[in-house]
A and B are shown apart, each in its own frame.
Chain A
Amino acid sequence: MSSMPSKIRPGQPELLPYGKIREDLFRPLSGLTKKYFAAILIPLLVILFGAYAWSTQLRLGMGVTGLHRPVFWGFYIVDFVFWIGISHAGTLISAILRLTDASWRKPITRAAEAITVFALMIGGLFPIIHLGRAWRFYWLMPYPNSRLLWPNFRSPLLWDLTAICAYVTGSVLFLYLPLIPDMAQLAEHNAPWRRKLYRALSLGWTGSDTEWHALERAMKLMAGIILAVAVSVHTIVAWDFSMAIAPMWHSTIFGPYFVVGAIFSGLAGLMIVMALIRKLMGLELYLTRHHFDNLAKLLLLMSVLWLYFTLAEHLTAWYGNDPSEMIVFGARTRTRFAFIFWLMVFVNFVVPFTLLGIRKLRSITTGVIASFGILLGMFLERYIIVVPTLSNPRLAAASSGFYMPSWVEIAITVATFAGMIVLYLLFSKLFPIIAVWEFKPHQQEDEI
């Protein structure tokens, strides 16, 4: 074990005594403050309103939404793509940084992995909400119907189901594995129900070297596998669009374009969550400016990559001058959707490039401001991808249409953001949001 240094410098919390780290990171689990209740009560009310909106849709049918011929994909599909994108925060950040042994990842990984699981849970709800008859969702399962007809395995929608199931399973296990040693330490908690919970979930972990070796091996392997799954999931979400010969959708770069956008929005989500838990849980010593600075640099890189893909996508369409594509191109950049398009470019590139690119302006606050902008921008990007194409279909026989989300769609969308807050607050009360055992530098890192 490393000996304690004489003086801990700010930004070096990993050099604190292990007992102190443990105490600081386990403290937020105990006690329920008024601030916590207030933080959870308001989103709960929003969720209740969202549930009422959904019940209205279930009772009265899809007519209560703004979906009309020919625009049959609207906010729900935008939400689906958005949340699946956010889910890339955890797995990709955590897996990439874990595989590359980047030591600054340590306070970030669990927060990121939890985002993945919750965002997937929320994102996975939207295809079911979009079905209208949500109680028929099991028709997607691979079993024959009453006429012995199997689902069409060539359908990208069935690919989605398979990919999301694989991703959820992998992400839950990826979150759970490094939680085991922390839960074993928490097994002596004062509250009896917590003791029972942590004992059951820690599976009798003793801290033997056999267990540690198995855990570290499993985490390395899992990181590699989950990375491949995460990339495939958003590629498949992109293929939901690009497999259709619809204007501005049938593009070969849609897969990587979506993956880049997903990582971009995921990073922004992570930045906001980290800033919130830092403030609410008093973890200023552990989530330092250094971590936010590194995240800001990653955001900046993704912002530039996003702009590159957006330009490549639009320039190719413009140069091709295909009449049906040019109608959508014009709608996006010059007419009906131009404001949304240019606002998207502004908040996804201009704002982050200014706030995070200029060193003097880069701080935790500006990082959070830029991240909120990016989340808005990425939501608009998905809207810009989905709606203008469906409003201007390729076939001349199909009339063009106009889409405006109804209050039901907006309420359900807002409720999912509230849902994310509630899930995160509950998680952070049950489990340490920073992996305690991973926090200390290990021997190999000392040698490096």
Chain B
Amino acid sequence: MASVTWLLGEFRDKDAVADAVRSLRAAGVSVSDLDLFSEEPLELPRGLLDRPSRMSLAAVLGAAAMGGAATLFVWWAQNDYALITGGMPVFSFWGTGVITYEMTMLGAVLSVFGYFLWESGLLRKRDKSAPIPVVPPERIWLRLCCKGSDVARPKALLQQAGAVMVEEKASV
């Protein structure tokens, strides 16, 4: 297994971070090797550090699955012991539409939450060797995963972009 070195660059300015990311990307560093740490959400220019997401798709699929399952369940339950309805249909979408709708929405809510936990990595197994910086207010840390032996170049790029400090940590 190739050795992994982590570089942690501390910045005080959002533009400097954007410059650092831009130059690292130009040097061939992939988005998956970069992580930013800040106390508040940080918006970088579009295309710089985009992380594509399928959360909306997950919401739609979760909604359809739960709504569909709830409707099937109601249909089955109504037919399992058919009530006397005076000639009206035992199952009707008008009569059970509300339950279908609410369960569809609940499916969407739960899928969004579940997908958030998965996508953010909060409940997934993390790379324990990756150092996590403590972020004080008004500071931004850029973490870079260097898989090869060349650490000097990315380090120089971070410093050139305006990092006030660059720490180097070997993988445990």
Contacts and interface: CB of A to CB of B under 8 A. Distances in A.
Interface of A: 1, 17-19, 22, 142, 144, 148-150, 152-154, 158-159, 162-163, 165-166, 169-170, 173, 177, 180-181, 185, 203-218, 221-222, 225-226, 228-229, 232, 236, 239, 437, 440, 442-444
Contacts of B117: 203
If over half of A's interface residues share one DSSP class (helix, strand or loop), that class is named, otherwise mixed; here it is helix
Contacts of A209: 35-38, 42, 49, 51
A19 B138 contact: yes
B137 A17 contact: yes
Given A1-B140, A153-B99, A162-B99, A215 B105 contact: no
24 contacts: A1-B38, A1-B138, A1-B139, A19-B137, A142-B77, A144-B80, A148-B80, A150-B80, A153-B74, A153-B77, A153-B78, A162-B99, A165-B102, A180-B122, A203-B123, A204-B126, A208-B37, A209-B42, A209-B51, A210-B51, A210-B120, A214-B116, A232-B102, A437-B39
A266 B171 CA distance: 53
A432 to B, nearest CB: 14
Contacts of B122: 180, 203-205, 211
Given A154-B96, A214-B119, A217-B119, 10 more contacts: A1-B12, A22-B137, A153-B77, A154-B95, A185-B39, A209-B42, A212-B42, A218-B113, A221-B55, A442-B40
Contacts of A142: 73, 77
Given A18-B137, A159-B98, A217-B55, A177 B116 contact: yes
A225 B112 contact: yes
Contacts of A215: 41, 116, 120
B104 to A, nearest CB: 9
A98 B169 CA distance: 40
Contact of B106 (A1, A166, A210): A166
Interface of B: 12-14, 35-43, 49, 51, 53, 55-56, 59, 73-74, 77-78, 80-81, 83, 92, 95-96, 98-99, 101-103, 105-106, 108-110, 112-113, 115-117, 119-123, 126, 132, 135, 137-140, 143
B41 A442 contact: yes
B59 A221 contact: yes
B78 A150 contact: yes
Contacts of B110: 169
A181 to B, nearest CB: 8
A174 B72 CA distance: 28
A211 B143 CA distance: 14
Contact of B38 (A17, A154, A169, A212): A212
A173 to B, nearest CB: 5
B40 A440 contact: yes
A235 B57 CA distance: 28
B14 A207 contact: no
A226 B112 CA distance: 11
Contacts of A225: 59, 105, 108-109, 112
A222 B112 contact: yes
B77 A150 contact: yes
A161 to B, nearest CB: 9
